[in-house]
């Protein structure tokens, strides 16, 4: 066994969203470039790096549990990611099991910092600051900043390493957010909004295709803002999406996290009608009652949101539309809840996540009056969840008889069936397609099939043909 001063075996564990997955693959590239060997956490790693999530209480608990489990392996443990960035020294003090708590600004030198940890040198814990203050107020001036932005590490030398062989790859198009939603703490630790240059994104897309990715899942904190800080001639999503869809080897491009108030008709049309771009709309509605939206510091209404849904379906009647909603927000009345119910019933979305409100450290909503009792919030979550299950099940049933193109992602245990996703289904958050009698169909293939049945939001599909690469 190598000595502590020369050992260079590191494991990466990732929690949270697809944005964190991109960051982990960037870190993996940096560590490999710095001479570290990437191994599984249970494969005698010298250091376990945990890319934490700090979004909501349950995610924080998962992060803490993962750090504790990593410590039990006997390896050195280093916390990075959103929870580490958000709490820094406070997390380090409460978790002596972590040998270091490092923020985003440590990422460029992470290989060296892990060497310090293995050698027994103590590293000062990250001290959190509001990352919105680290970049210029004017968005166009942010492009000149040399401030470290996770997931933007692409350059002349590749600084990303795939951590799995999935035919789907997340691709970060921007980081941070300039919105001030009263319930959300993300901008304070992810920072102000910064777009990546489109040429850089397209180059990374081509590299991902070479690594076997057939679907690119575009991620950011707010995709509708993409390009606002770039020169006008470079354009926004409307210009970027066709370029990505034209990358050789890429068969499907999917956009995540669109803000309804910023979604223009031109963007709707591009997503709904561009060949190779999934007609899929991940809309961050959050609620539909105007009084609640105003307290959330958001814009819109039931009628305006229903109008947006109608606009989407005028271009693509079978488009997938999904969202999350928060119930039990401070001051929410029975009338507000009824308005949300009216929206959900009218919109007939394909997938909806229902979340009960809870206070988040440092947010405006934490100090709002009109807090609801926890039991009442739970009751409202249960009520909306039942409604959503009924509506999304009906929406899936409506697809019986449709033809769909399924990207196969894994085989079932008996290998006679396999599982993938159609254009209206995003990774992890939506339903999936089960392909029947799929002998000979491999992971990573695109299959045209017909929907024979549904089970909740999942579809049961009979394969018709395997599509050659590049035919979509």
pLDDT in tens, 41-50: 788 899 999 9
pLDDT in tens, 340-370: 999 999 999 999 999 999 999 899 999 999 9
**Residue 325: is its pLDDT beyond 70?**
yes
The span from the CA of 332 to the CA of 457, in Å, is 29
pTM, 2 dp: 0.92
What pLDDT is attached to residue 417? 82
Mean pLDDT rounded to a whole number for the chain: 92
pLDDT in tens, 424-467: 999 888 899 999 988 889 999 999 999 999 999 999 999 999 99
What pLDDT is attached to residue 2? 39
What mean pLDDT do residues 370-381 have? Answer: 97
418 annotated to bind ligand = no
The answer to whether the beta carbons of residues 75 and 46 sit under 8 Å apart is: yes
Intervals of CATH 3.40.50.12160 along the chain: 9-126
The span from the CA of 318 to the CA of 313, in Å, is 7
pLDDT in tens, 253-293: 999 999 999 999 999 999 999 999 999 999 999 999 999 99
**Residue 209: is its pLDDT beyond 80?**
yes
What pLDDT is attached to residue 342? 98
Percent of the chain with pLDDT over 70: 96
The span from the CA of 215 to the CA of 255, in Å, is 11
The answer to whether the beta carbons of residues 193 and 236 sit under 8 Å apart is: no
The span from the CA of 458 to the CA of 461, in Å, is 10
What mean pLDDT do residues 164-177 have? Answer: 94
What pLDDT is attached to residue 144? 81
Maximum Cα–Cα distance across the chain: 66
pLDDT in tens, 1-22: 334 445 699 999 999 888 899 9
433 annotated to bind ligand = no
Confidence class for position 395, pLDDT limits 50, 70, 90: very high
Match domain 140-398 to its CATH number in 3.50.50.60, 3.40.50.720, 3.30.360.10, 3.80.30.20: 3.80.30.20
The span from the CA of 30 to the CA of 264, in Å, is 38
**Quick one: tokens of 74?**
């006997």
If one compares 19 and 338, the residue with the highest pLDDT of the two is 338
Confidence class for position 157, pLDDT limits 50, 70, 90: low
The answer to whether the beta carbons of residues 128 and 86 sit under 8 Å apart is: yes
Intervals of CATH 3.80.30.20 along the chain: 140-398
What pLDDT is attached to residue 17? 87
Over its C-alpha atoms, the chain yields an Rg (Å, rounded) of 23
177 annotated to bind ligand = yes
The span from the CA of 99 to the CA of 105, in Å, is 18
- For the ranges 104-108, 221-225, 307-311, 408-412, the lowest mean pLDDT is seen at 408-412
Range 9-126 has CATH code 3.20.20.70: no
Intervals of CATH 2.40.50.140 along the chain: 402-467
The span from the CA of 242 to the CA of 271, in Å, is 9
Percent of the chain with pLDDT over 90: 76
What mean pLDDT do residues 174-183 have? Answer: 94
Contacts 24+ apart (CB under 8 A), 71-77: 71/97, 71/98, 73/41, 73/42, 73/45, 73/48, 75/11, 75/41, 75/45, 75/46, 75/47, 75/48, 76/46, 76/47, 76/48, 76/100, 76/114, 76/117, 76/118, 77/47, 77/48, 77/50
**What is the length of the chain?**
472
Would you state the CATH architecture of domain 402-467? Answer: Beta Barrel (2.40)
**Residue 130: is its pLDDT beyond 80?**
yes
What pLDDT is attached to residue 137? 85
* Residue 390, C-beta contacts closer than 8 angstroms, at least 6 positions apart: none
**Residue 153: is its pLDDT beyond 80?**
no
If one compares 155 and 107, the residue with the highest pLDDT of the two is 107
Confidence class for position 158, pLDDT limits 50, 70, 90: low
Q: Which helix (H) or strand (E) holds 12?
A: strand 9-14
| Nearest of 440, 390, 446 to residue 422 by alpha carbon | 446
The span from the CA of 138 to the CA of 49, in Å, is 35
């Amino acid at each position: 066994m190598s000595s502590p001063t020369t050992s260079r075996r590191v494991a990466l564990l990732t929690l949270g969203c697809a944005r964190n997955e991109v960051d982990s693959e960037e870190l993996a590239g940096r560590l490999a470039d710095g001479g570290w060997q990437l191994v599984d956490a249970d494969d005698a790693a010298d250091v376990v790096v945990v890319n934490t999530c700090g979004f909501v209480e349950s995610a924080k608990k998962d992060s803490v549990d993962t750090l504790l489990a990593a410590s039990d392996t006997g390896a050195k443990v280093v916390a990075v990611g959103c929870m580490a960035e958000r709490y820094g020294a406070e997390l380090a003090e409460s978790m002596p099991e972590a040998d270091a708590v490092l923020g985003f600004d440590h990422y460029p030198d992470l290989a060296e910092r892990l060497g310090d940890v293995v050698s027994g040198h103590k590293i000062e814990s990250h001290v959190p600051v509001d990352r919105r203050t680290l970049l210029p107020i004017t968005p166009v001036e942010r492009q000149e900043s040399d401030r470290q932005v996770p997931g933007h590490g692409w350059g002349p030398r590749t600084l990303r390493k795939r951590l799995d062989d999935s035919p789907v790859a997340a691709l970060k198009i921007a980081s941070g957010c300039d919105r001030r939603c009263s319930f959300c703490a993300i901008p304070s630790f992810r920072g102000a909004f910064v777009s990546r240059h489109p040429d850089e994104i397209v180059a990374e897309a081509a590299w991902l295709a070479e690594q076997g990715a057939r679907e690119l899942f575009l991620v950011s904190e707010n995709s509708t803002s993409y390009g606002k800080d770039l020169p006008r001639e470079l354009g926004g999503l409307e210009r970027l999406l066709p370029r990505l869809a034209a990358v050789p080897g890429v068969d499907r491009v999917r956009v995540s996290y669109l803000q309804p108030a910023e979604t223009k008709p031109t963007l709707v049309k591009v997503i709904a009608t561009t060949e190779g771009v999934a007609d899929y709309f991940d809309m961050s509605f959050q609620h539909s009652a105007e009084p609640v939206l105003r307290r959330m510091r958001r814009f819109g209404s039931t009628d305006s949101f229903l109008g947006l849904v109608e606009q989407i379906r005028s271009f693509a009647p079978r488009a997938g539309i999904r969202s999350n909603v928060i119930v039990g927000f401070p001051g929410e009345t029975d009338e507000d809840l009824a308005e949300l119910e009216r929206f959900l019933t009218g919109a007939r979305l394909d997938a909806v996540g229902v979340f009960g409100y809870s206070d988040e450290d440092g947010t405006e909503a934490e100090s709002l009056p009109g807090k609801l009792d926890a039991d009442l919030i739970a009751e409202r979550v249960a009520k909306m969840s039942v409604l959503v299950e009924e509506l999304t099940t009906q929406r899936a049933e409506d697809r019986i008889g449709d033809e769909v193109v399924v990207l196969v992602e894994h085989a079932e245990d008996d290998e006679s069936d396999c599982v993938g996703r159609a254009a209206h289904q995003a990774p992890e958050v939506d339903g999936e397609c089960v392909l029947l009698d799929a002998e000979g169909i491999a992971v990573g293939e695109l299959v045209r099939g017909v929907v024979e049945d549904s089970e909740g939001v999942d579809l049961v599909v009979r394969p018709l043909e395997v599509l050659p690469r590049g035919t979509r």
